[in-house]
């Protein structure tokens, strides 16, 4: 090929005090190429992109943009060199508006550069947002948005930059296929105009849909670059995880006895209304629905996080009085929250103690926590969820997102929770780990635990669930048995095909 | 034997400063290399710096080395304690303390006694166990100003008090002296007694508010000069200069200037430099082995424009003037 | 439990942003306090007394405006009092030696800015905690003011300077007008300019700001410099009023200013604060002092009332706007 | 830029957790300060003086331990001084009226706990900002102590009580022993008990802690109650030394305590702090005061040195352990 690479990495190495996150990463990307960066959690993808975008510096090696050596001292330098980045974690200021966030650092100015031109910012922000979700109002404070909407804002922000390289680190982790479709169109357009795109995602179908080339990383090393237009998905996955992943069928462990019974449950603070369902021992119940349909809110109600307005929850026939998460936890309920960074982790504390937090008293003897017991349990459980790197004393904030997720799952195993509420359990989790988590869920069911899984990924819902509850507008729209489960039926119940004209499209986004 | 808790105002075993020489003879020779340590409340107020000047002055004359230290702020009781303890540790021959509170230097008294170092309590708060006290009567400050009002404003009227920091010994005593004396005269009415916290700005604001409600006020008594100088500005701003009498306490140089300029009505000067000299003299007499009365009373005087020339100006020998005052008071 | 409060977001409508709702809470607090005093103190609501209250609040308001910006940026400035003192004694000393007023003013503002700059650099570049940096400079600056003057006040500030800060225009004290102008400028800065957005951003999420290319260090330093300059300005108002500059002036100003900002809705965690709220907060504190003095409340009980009113003001505010 | 800095933490090995490295930084600061004074002041390192330093640091250390726990939980307690004052005057008054020592002690600790409880409830249940709550109670508690005593000190604390807190065991002052025991207990609490982990969790991420079932309110209240109890204990040490209890005691203790905690590595953002570090921080401050006094440094220059040393201690610490 004669064109110079738009972006070329040469021997990029990054060492942290206790891990080598990247070693000798070398590959290049051409203009107009959509290049996937693939690898398990902790493989070093985000680390590489953070170096590219000037957020951190490589220990050694260099990279070139359009053949020019790049030496970025801060994100601003990278931006000037034409690099736009969507970070894996939302990088937003809660109290500022959507538009202010999108123009943060480089506001449009007026009055001779003195004042911020709010109107123009909002106009342009609206235009960028409209490409994905026109319902987002650029003048609302970002803290009022749902995670999914906030992620759309992050994407739109990157679109505003007119960059020649756009790095996207799991841009769709909270999005539904519908939004991904819009993004795919945008990416195609950008690629057509010569922009190089680096795309990181654990959703393989997305990757294969839009990416031309893919570089596979494992434990900080580049394993190789493959042409995704020709390669087989299973081969690529094998490259990533170092082994073949079997496509597994759903296993059912449903017992007869009803463990959880929810009757007429309504929220005191959100739009969840009149929800009734049951979950049996060993049953995995999936909850599907559109963004904003109230799935998360339902789980928060069950976990005692949100206040119950009316209705009843009983476990093993005993009615619960849920006043706070603690009461739910002692009733054997454990919640894997949707927004890991905000609701999940205590950043500066070690993984082991993040895991043990709700069950500390179980590890205590005469009021003193036996850290040896914590560590023993942590080693067992964190191994079971396959934490990587396996360093249980490290502050959790130093782990990759997927590994943080695993630690929170382990938290409820440690607490011995019988009823597990998983909100988007595989968000940001690599394919290998994903199948591990599926196994884990199945194992839990096999042990007789009851699991409720909220997921925006329909294949996941179908793969895991014995039964699926479809939610719409805060209410249950349908309960589908295993044999009825197809993507088609779920979607039609979620959007309410039966009564097509009652749909409020500002609240609810197109597809599941 | 245990000493009775000291009340510097009523203690029987006392001597007036002017009588020191008459009673104990000329100043004796002190041992070579005598070191005297002064521990002040704070140096942020001119009064305490002047006191230190007096220490140095007399110390130099008598051939003693003087160290003068102060806490970092007026409320820093433990800091002052640390300083005083340091002086005991480093073997000063005599220590002069002006405690922040009645109690905060108590341990030093004990430690010094063990180490056989005499301690002189100089002014302000009075440590009950103090064996030696040099200073004026705080209460008397307020009394003198109250008497001025009774003498000079025979028709009576409304008066207001700007107090120092809540709970501080000098502020409590001065206020009490003024209040009780003026309270004996039914023509006067204390319409306000509010805290100025030794702070000029707060006193200014308080005075503004008081004047607004009581434009017919006849006077202010302030627990120190800094506050009085704030109050006088408020009086000026209200256009009442000359109508409202304002008194301060301490006799700092700015107060004198203000009196000369016809603004401040008066201040109760307790002559810090002279007090310092007397205190040092007493301390060094103790070092020389003399026995001195438990309380040595130092002078104070109400300074107004009328008698200002007598106490301040070129060629005024304040010591001689006050000696004469003392003699005539006898 | 401010964060958990997010669990029950009571967003009513887009028209009322949380900002103005919050200010309404502060306003209600002020109105209640004014009403109580009006009932207890005859003449409390006279125009003359209201102007008094404004004038007496002006110094604290001026300091509190700077404090609000610093707090929004995620910092705190405990050194405002000593900064004011340094600036006051320097300006007064220059004026007394006959330096023209504008030059002395500039020198005073300049030294205020410099004090702020030192704070800002230590926070932003050296990376120390704001509380501890300004606790250190609190002592350091005070010591400098004391050493410079030997502990004595600087007297004899010329009338020309005094009337500039202590005069009236149509019955409104100049100090009130000055602070009103500063407040408006601060409001524009915070709501309309890039730097205001940066302040909110840095205080709201520093990492995200960094990633977005916000000049973090510059933003923080700006906040501290403004705080220093406003401390200097406040000291001018004070020496205009008192005619003298004391090296010990400004003692405990930081607490009053922080109280005003907090009552006005600033969060000491950063990222949140309101100019209007701060001004209202300063007036609440001023009205309280004024009312207590007029009622001739004894010192100990004034102290008690001060503490309780701060607590009650915060509770009223919390009650009117709900949690969060 | 504390968060971003996290990308390059200089942790060398698993054996040295970030905890002890941070403490090593503080220790180096202490050693440098001690070395400087040892060079300048003859007798500074004499055993007698070292014991003096420990004794003089003990009150601040005691207060700072409680402060550290509160700071770790994401709060701050400005009311420690007045809490100590209330507890001191009550205990002394009881003792003077002949109440047995243990009863008076319990009453004093109880009132300290109660003061802390009020702070804690206002923070945890009413949801007010810790800074402003304790600023309000700072005034309120002080006023209560003053009103209770009419502003007068309570004199004549019996010898039995005094020797309990002011005696020696084998040349070591009881106060030092008491604080050492308290420090050990605080260390156990923080490192070994669920409540310690809860404190770190609540200060580190309150919402996540809530979701994980941590009893947020209880945790916060515990921190404030401990702070109140330790303030009471510190006041016992003080009245043991002074033989009298004054309603104005404890003035500005909060700043010294915060300084000690911050020098020792506590982050005022919460979630971080060290018991060992705080003790070292208190000793740094004590050694500094002691050394400056022995050098006979004039008050203004002592103030200057205090400020500068706080700044330098923080910078040394920052330099030795890198950013973060
Ligand atoms: N600041 C840090 N300090 C120490 N180690 C770090 C730090 N940041 C990342 N790491 C480590 O670097 C490795 C690579 O992390 P990175 O976030 O790049 O993984 P990733 O491929 O993006 O994973 P994921 O798919 O889960 O997002 C991980 O082992 C992680 O623990
Ligand atoms: N009281 C209410 N009335 C109407 N709508 C509400 C109410 N409270 C919240 N909402 C809306 O409901 C949505 C919240 O539902 P949420 O998105 O959490 O459900 P979800 O199905 O879990 O979505 P996600 O895919 O983001 O997890 C938000 O869009 C919010 O604006
Ligand atoms: Mg990643
Ligand atoms: Mg959800």
DSSP assignment of B143-191 equals HHHHHHHHHH-TT-EEEEEEE-STT-HHHHHHHHHHHHHHHTSTTEEEE
Which residues neighbour ligand 3 (ion) by CB within 5 Å? A 46, 88
What average pLDDT score do residues D221-229 get? 98
ipTM value for the complex: 0.87
Ligand 3 centre distance from Cα of residue A214 (Å): 16
Confidence of residue B62 (pLDDT cuts 50, 70, 90): very high
Confidence of residue A2 (pLDDT cuts 50, 70, 90): low
Confidence of residue C20 (pLDDT cuts 50, 70, 90): low
What average pLDDT score do residues A230-238 get? 89
3+ Cβ–Cβ pairs closer than 8 Å linking D and A? yes
Please tell me if the CB atom of residue A46 comes closer than 6 angstroms to any atom of ligand 1. yes
- Asked which of A155-159, D258-262, D297-301 is least confident by mean pLDDT, the reply is D297-301
Distance in angstroms (rounded) separating the CA atoms of residues B50 and A501 = 91
For residues D151 and B181, the model is more confident at B181
Q: How far is D312 from chain C (nearest CA, A)?
A: 9
Closest by alpha carbon to C155, among B53, B252, B219? B252
Q: How far is B192 from chain C (nearest CA, A)?
A: 5
Distance in angstroms (rounded) separating the CA atoms of residues D8 and A21 = 12
- Mark yes or no for CB contact A343/D211 under 8 Å: yes
Closest by alpha carbon to C237, among C146, C151, C164? C164
* CA B238 from centre of chain: 30
**Residue whose CB lies within 8 A of the most ligand 1 atoms, among A38, A40, A47, A168, for a mutation test:** A47
Select from D71, D120, D130, D139 the residue whose CB has the most chain C CBs within 10 Å, as the one to mutate to test that interface: D139
- Asked which of A295-299, B250-254, D115-119 is least confident by mean pLDDT, the reply is B250-254
Confidence of residue C269 (pLDDT cuts 50, 70, 90): confident
Checking if the pLDDT of A506 tops 50, the result is no
Sign, CA torsion A349/A355/A358/A361: negative
Domains of chain A: 7-245 (3.40.50.300), 254-332+418-506 (3.40.50.300), 344-411 (no CATH)
- Sheet strands (E) in B181-226: 188-195, 219-222
Q: In this complex, which of D6, D212, D272 lies closest to A358 when CB atoms are compared? A: D212
Quote the pLDDT of residue A497.
Answer: 67
* CB C262, CB C76: distance < 8 Å: no
Please tell me if the CB atom of residue A338 comes closer than 6 angstroms to any atom of ligand 2. yes
User: Which pLDDT tens digit goes with each residue over A287-321?
Assistant: 999 888 999 999 999 999 999 999 999 999 999 99
Distance in angstroms (rounded) separating the CA atoms of residues C200 and B40 = 47
The chains in contact with chain B, meaning 3 or more Cβ pairs closer than 8 Å, are: C, D
Confidence of residue D20 (pLDDT cuts 50, 70, 90): low
* CB A313, CB A302: distance < 8 Å: yes
| Helices B200-213 and C47-72, axial angle in degrees (round to 10) | 150
Q: How far is A418 from chain C (nearest CA, A)?
A: 25
Domain boundaries, chain D: 2-320
Quote the pLDDT of residue B144.
Answer: 94
User: What global pTM score does this model have?
Assistant: 0.89
**What CATH number should be reported for the domain whose range is C2-320?**
1.10.3470
Q: In this complex, which of C150, C244, C293 lies closest to B229 when CB atoms are compared? A: C244
What average pLDDT score do residues C203-226 get? 95
Ligand 1 centre distance from Cα of residue A239 (Å): 19
Quote the pLDDT of residue C39.
Answer: 95
User: Which pLDDT tens digit goes with each residue over A394-453?
Assistant: 999 998 877 898 899 999 999 999 999 999 998 878 888 888 889 889 999 999 999 999
Distance in angstroms (rounded) separating the CA atoms of residues B44 and B75 = 12
* CB A87, CB A154: distance < 8 Å: yes
For residues A105 and C224, the model is more confident at C224
Nearest CA to ligand 2 atom 31: A292
Please tell me if the CB atom of residue A148 comes closer than 6 angstroms to any atom of ligand 2. yes
Considering chain A, what is the average pLDDT of its residues?
Answer: 90
Checking if the pLDDT of D30 tops 70, the result is yes
Checking if the pLDDT of D17 tops 60, the result is no
Checking if the pLDDT of D226 tops 50, the result is yes
What average pLDDT score do residues D223-229 get? 98
Ligand 4 centre distance from Cα of residue A387 (Å): 25
Quote the pLDDT of residue C9.
Answer: 37
Nearest CA to ligand 1 atom 19: A42
Checking if the pLDDT of C324 tops 50, the result is no
Any CB–CB contact under 8 A between C322 and chain A?
Answer: no
Collect all residues with Cβ–Cβ distance below 8 Å to A76 and sequence separation of at least 6. Answer: A54, A105, C213
Q: How far is C211 from chain A (nearest CA, A)?
A: 6
For residues B33 and B168, the model is more confident at B33
Q: What is the DSSP string of A22-46?
A: EEEEEEEE-TT-EEEEEE-TTSSHH
Distance in angstroms (rounded) separating the CA atoms of residues B92 and B139 = 32
Checking if the pLDDT of D3 tops 70, the result is no
- Asked which of A149-163, B217-231, C6-20, C276-290 is least confident by mean pLDDT, the reply is C6-20
Quote the pLDDT of residue C184.
Answer: 97
Count of A-C CB contacts under 8 Å: 81
Distance in angstroms (rounded) separating the CA atoms of residues C59 and B204 = 13
Q: What is the DSSP string of D170-206?
A: TTEEHHHHHHHHHHHHHHHHHHHSHHHHHHHHHHH-H
Q: For residue D7, give the chain A residue with the closest CA.
A: A56
Q: Which residues of C touch B46 (CB under 8 A)?
A: 151-152
Q: What is the DSSP string of D53-87?
A: HHHHHHHHHHHHHHHHHHHHTT---TTHHHHHHHH
Quote the pLDDT of residue B305.
Answer: 93
Count CA atoms within 13 Å of residue B46 on its CB side: 19
Checking if the pLDDT of D75 tops 70, the result is yes
Distance in angstroms (rounded) separating the CA atoms of residues C247 and C149 = 7
Percentage of residues in chain D having pLDDT higher than 70: 93
Instruction: Give bridge partners of residue D28 from the DSSP assignment.
Output: none
Quote the pLDDT of residue C317.
Answer: 76
């Amino acid at each position: 090929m004669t064109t110079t690479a738009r972006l070329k990495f040469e021997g990029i190495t990054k060492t942290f005090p206790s891990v080598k996150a990247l070693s000798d990463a070398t590959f290049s990307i051409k203009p107009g190429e959509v290049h996937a960066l693939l690898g398990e959690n902790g493989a070093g993808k985000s680390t590489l992109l953070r170096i590219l975008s000037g957020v951190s510096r490589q220990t050694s090696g260099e990279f070139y943009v359009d053949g020019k050596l790049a030496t970025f001292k801060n994100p601003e330098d990278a931006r000037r060199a034409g690099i736009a980045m969507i970070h894996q974690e939302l990088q937003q200021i809660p109290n500022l508006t959507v538009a202010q966030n999108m123009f943060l650092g480089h506001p449009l100015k007026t009055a001779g550069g003195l004042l911020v031109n709010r109107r123009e910012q909002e106009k342009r922000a609206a235009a960028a947002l409209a490409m994905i979700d026109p319902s987002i109002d650029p003048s609302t404070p970002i803290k009022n948005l749902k995670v999914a909407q906030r992620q759309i804002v992050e994407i739109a922000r990157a679109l505003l930059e007119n960059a020649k390289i756009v790095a996207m680190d799991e841009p769709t982790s909270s999005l539904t296929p519908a939004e991904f479709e819009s993004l795919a169109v945008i990416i195609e357009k950008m690629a057509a105009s010569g922009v190089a795109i680096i795309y990181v995602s654990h959703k393989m179908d997305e990757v294969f849909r839009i990416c031309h080339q893919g570089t596979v990383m494992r434990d900080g090393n580049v394993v190789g670059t493959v042409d995704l237009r020709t390669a087989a998905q299973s081969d690529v996955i094998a490259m990533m995880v170092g082994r073949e992943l079997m496509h597994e069928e759903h296993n059912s462990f449903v017992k007869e006895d009803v463990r959880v019974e929810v009757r007429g449950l309504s929220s005191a603070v959100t739009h969840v209304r009149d929800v009734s369902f049951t979950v049996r021992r060993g049953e995995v119940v999936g909850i599907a629905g559109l963004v904003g349909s109230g799935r998360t809110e339902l789980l928060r109600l069950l976990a005692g996080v949100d206040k119950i307005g009316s209705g009843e929850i009983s476990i093993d026939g005993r009615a619960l009085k849920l006043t706070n998460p603690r009461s739910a936890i002692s009733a054997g309920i454990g919640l894997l929250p949707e927004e890991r960074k905000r609701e999940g982790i205590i950043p500066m504390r070690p993984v082991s103690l993040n895991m043990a937090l709700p069950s500390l008293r179980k590890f205590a003897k005469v009021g003193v926590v036996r850290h040896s017991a914590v560590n023993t349990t942590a080693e067992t459980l964190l191994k079971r969820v396959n934490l990587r790197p396996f360093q249980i004393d490290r502050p959790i904030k130093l782990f990759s997102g997927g590994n943080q997720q695993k630690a929170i799952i382990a938290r409820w195993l440690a607490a011995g929770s019988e009823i597990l509420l998983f909100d988007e359990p595989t968000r940001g989790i690599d394919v290998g780990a994903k199948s591990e988590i599926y196994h884990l869920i199945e194992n839990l069911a096999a042990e007789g635990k009851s699991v409720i899984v909220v997921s925006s990924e329909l294949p996941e819902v179908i793969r895991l669930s014995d039964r699926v509850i479809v939610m719409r507008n805060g209410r249950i729209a349908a309960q589908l048995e295993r044999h009825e489960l197809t993507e088609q039926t779920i979607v039609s119940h979620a959007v309410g095909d039966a009564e097509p004209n009652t749909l409020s499209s500002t609240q609810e986004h197109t597809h599941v | 034997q245990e000493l009775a808790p000291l009340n510097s105002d009523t203690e029987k075993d006392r001597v007036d400063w002017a009588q020191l020489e008459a009673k104990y003879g000329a100043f004796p020779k002190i041992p070579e290399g005598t070191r005297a340590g002064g521990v002040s409340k704070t140096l942020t107020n001119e009064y305490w710096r002047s006191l230190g000047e007096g220490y140095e002055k007399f110390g130099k004359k008598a051939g003693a080395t003087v160290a003068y230290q102060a806490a970092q702020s007026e409320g820093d009781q433990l800091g002052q304690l640390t300083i005083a303890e340091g002086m005991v540790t480093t073997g000063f021959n005599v220590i002069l303390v002006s405690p922040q509170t009645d109690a905060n230097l108590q341990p030093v008294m004990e430690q010094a006694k063990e180490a056989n170092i005499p301690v002189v309590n100089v002014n302000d708060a009075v440590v009950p166990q103090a064996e030696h006290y040099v200073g004026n009567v705080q209460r008397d400050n307020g009394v003198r100003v109250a008497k001025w009002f009774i003498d000079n404003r025979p028709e009576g009227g409304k008066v207001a008090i700007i107090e120092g920091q809540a709970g501080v010994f000098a502020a409590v005593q001065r206020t009490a002296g003024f209040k009780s004396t003026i309270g004996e005269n039914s023509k006067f009415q204390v319409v306000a007694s509010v805290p100025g916290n030794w702070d000029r700005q707060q006193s200014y604001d308080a005075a503004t508010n008081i004047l607004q409600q009581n434009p017919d006020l006849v006077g202010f008594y302030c627990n120190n000069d800094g506050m009085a100088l704030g109050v006088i500005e408020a009086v000026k701003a209200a256009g009442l200069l000359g109508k409202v009498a304002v008194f301060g306490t301490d006799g700092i140089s700015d107060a004198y200037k203000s009196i000369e300029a016809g603004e401040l009505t008066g201040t109760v000067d307790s002559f810090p430099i002279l007090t310092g000299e007397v205190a040092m003299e007493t301390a060094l007499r103790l070092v020389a082995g003399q026995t001195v009365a438990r309380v040595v009373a130092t002078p104070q005087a109400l300074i107004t424009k009328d008698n200002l020339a007598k106490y301040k100006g070129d060629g005024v020998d304040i010591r001689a003037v006050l000696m004469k005052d003392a003699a005539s008071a006898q | 439990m401010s964060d958990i409060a997010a669990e029950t977001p009571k967003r009513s409508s887009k028209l009322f942003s949380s900002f103005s709702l919050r200010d309404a809470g502060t306003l209600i607090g002020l109105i209640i306090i004014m009403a109580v005093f009006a009932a207890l103190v005859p003449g409390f609501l006279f125009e003359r007394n209201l102007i008094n209250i404004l004038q007496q609040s002006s110094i604290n308001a001026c300091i509190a405006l700077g404090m609000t910006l610093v707090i929004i940026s995620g910092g705190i400035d405990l050194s405002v009092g000593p900064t004011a003192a340094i600036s006051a004694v320097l300006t007064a000393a220059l004026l007394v030696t006959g330096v023209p007023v504008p030059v002395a003013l500039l020198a005073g503002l300049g030294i205020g800015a410099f004090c702020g700059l030192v704070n800002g650099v230590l926070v932003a570049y050296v990376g120390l905690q704001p509380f501890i940096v300004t606790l250190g400079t609190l002592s350091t600056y005070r010591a400098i003011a004391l050493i410079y003057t030997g502990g004595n006040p600087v007297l004899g500030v010329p009338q020309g300077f005094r009337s500039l800060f202590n005069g009236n225009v149509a019955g409104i004290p100049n100090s009130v007008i000055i602070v009103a102008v500063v407040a408006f400028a601060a409001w524009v800065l915070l709501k309309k300019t890039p730097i205001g957005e940066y302040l909110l951003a840095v205080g709201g999420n520093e990492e995200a700001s960094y990633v977005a290319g916000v000049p973090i260090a510059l933003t923080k330093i700006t906040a501290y410099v403004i705080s220093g300059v406003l401390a200097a300005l406040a000291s001018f108002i004070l020496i205009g009023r008192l005619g003298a500059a004391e090296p010990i002036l400004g003692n405990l100003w930081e607490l009053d200013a922080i109280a005003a900002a907090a009552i006005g809705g600033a969060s000491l965690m950063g990222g949140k604060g309101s100019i209007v709220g701060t001004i209202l907060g300063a007036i609440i504190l001023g009205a309280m002092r004024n009312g207590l003095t007029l009622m001739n409340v004894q010192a100990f009980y004034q102290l008690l009332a001060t503490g309780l009113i701060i607590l009650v003001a915060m509770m009223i505010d919390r009650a009117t706007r709900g949690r969060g």
